[in-house]
Amino acid sequence: MEPQLGLIEQSFHVRYSDGVREALDELGDSFLITDPSISGHPIVFASSAFLKIFGYSKDQVIGKNGRMFQGPKTNRRSVLEIREAIRQEKAIQISLLNYRKDGTPFWMLFHMCPVFAKEDGRVVHFLGVQVPILRKSRVVRNPSKLCEDGTGFLGCCRREVTSDSVMEVGRGLALDYLLNSDDRELEIDQPCEASELEKRKAATAISNILSVLAHYSESEVTGRLVCGKACCLSGMGLGASINISFGRIKQSFVLTDPHLHDMPIVYASDAFLKLTGYARHEVLGRNCRFLSGLDTVSATQFEIAECIRNERPCTVHILNYRKDKTSFWNFLHISPVRNATGKVAYFVGVQISSSCNSQGKQGLSPAMEHLSVVGAVKVAVRSLSIGASTS
């Protein structure tokens, strides 16, 4: 688990300068930030307001997938719409029934948008804001249970019992009122639509958070600007959906794009980073030759280049170097990856250190492990290209 936590910490700190967490929490909004490039698309930041609403501690949320807040009555169609928005790297605003840690369900307006890197247009994070949907005013048997201290902030709605007037109750309804309502089960079964005010509140929160992220990414320390729109696109970068698919592959591999100058790496697996000692931001955008060193045989490099030029696979033993300058023998397999039209879209390189056992963790020989990774990558790329051609 520690390597994963290291990647999560790195995800946030390599992009933003010190003080960004405090600045985000000062906004007072409930929101999460996730990283689609890390296996499992985990949460890398949770605001204090979010933790207060949902009843979790930070340690219980960071590193987990957002699906942990769904429950038995969460609408599956809404979940699929969110997944499709992630795949297409688009913003979405949708009403969703979520669950607190104690099992309490409540309706919220979920507004999600991608956060793009200015240097290459990649989606580096997804930002998700949650605005509890408050009911309109109604006959209340015990009005004293309404509060204005912001601790409740949770609400649900049942439109058939609403009155014409809207009661403002500060940040929202008290949680004990929600829990003690006799017809709470009826209320959560009713589709709950957000008001225009709640929609504007979510959009404003998104704008404010993006402004903070952009400001703290302008530091001379990071030099990695972010923005809320797909800007400065250079063609490099993969969609969030394919990043998530690749994250399920546990072996060491990289994906390179032959259509870009110097054939840069556009995806590096967690296992590759562990093997070589590099961070993800130190790998993406570079040609694989940076792993070579003084004693790397040039004839092997030439063999690899010829295979790439002829669009055919090859397997070689090559001496490579980690970030700390230690060398290792790399049993390397390179293969073209074609899209649904049959054209080469990428090249995949699968690395197995010769210091490892002759059989991998799954009991596969190195050659079979190569083929299993290549096969999984090809399925992900072809599925994406088929989906794009039919959408």
Q: Assign residue 338 the CATH number of its domain.
A: 3.30.450.20
Same domain assignment for residues 331 and 378: yes
The set of residues, in sequence order, having a beta carbon less than 8 Å from that of 298 and lying 6+ positions away, is none
Give Cα separations from 2 to 60, 243, 361, 362 (angstroms): 15, 21, 19, 21
Q: How far apart are CA 359 and CA 363, in angstroms?
A: 5
Q: What is the DSSP letter of 133?
A: P
Closest listed residue to residue 58, CA positions, set 49, 46, 68: 46
Same domain assignment for residues 367 and 270: yes
Same domain assignment for residues 286 and 381: yes
Alpha carbon of residue 99 to chain centroid = 21
Range of the domain at 125: 2-133+193-227
As for how many domains the chain has, the answer is: 2
Is 149 part of a structural domain of the chain? no
Is 341 part of a structural domain of the chain? yes
Same domain assignment for residues 213 and 322: no
Residues 349, 333 contacting (CB under 8 angstroms): yes
Same domain assignment for residues 222 and 254: no
pLDDT in tens, the chain (391 residues): 455 667 788 888 778 888 889 999 999 999 999 999 888 899 999 999 999 999 999 999 999 999 999 999 999 999 999 998 898 888 899 999 999 999 999 999 999 999 988 766 788 899 999 999 986 544 444 444 443 333 333 344 433 333 333 333 333 443 443 444 444 444 566 767 888 889 889 988 998 898 888 888 865 444 455 665 544 333 345 666 677 778 888 899 999 988 877 888 888 999 999 999 998 878 887 899 999 999 999 999 999 999 999 999 999 999 999 999 999 999 999 999 988 788 898 999 999 987 654 445 555 688 888 988 999 998 888 776 555 444 4
Its pTM stands at: 0.54
Is 179 part of a structural domain of the chain? no
Same domain assignment for residues 299 and 203: no
Q: How far apart are CA 240 and CA 34, in angstroms?
A: 11
Give Cα separations from 388 to 81, 239, 248 (angstroms): 16, 11, 21
Is 29 part of a structural domain of the chain? yes
Same domain assignment for residues 211 and 283: no
Is 254 part of a structural domain of the chain? yes
Same domain assignment for residues 207 and 322: no
Same domain assignment for residues 254 and 206: no
Q: How far apart are CA 161 and CA 134, in angstroms?
A: 13
Residue 309 CB burial class (10 angstroms; 0-12, 13-18, ≥19): exposed
Same domain assignment for residues 212 and 343: no
Residues 121, 237 contacting (CB under 8 angstroms): yes
Is 163 part of a structural domain of the chain? no
| Helix, strand, coil percent values for the chain (each to nearest 5) | 35, 20, 40
Same domain assignment for residues 80 and 214: yes
Is 315 part of a structural domain of the chain? yes
Same domain assignment for residues 277 and 308: yes
Q: How far apart are CA 206 and CA 227, in angstroms?
A: 12
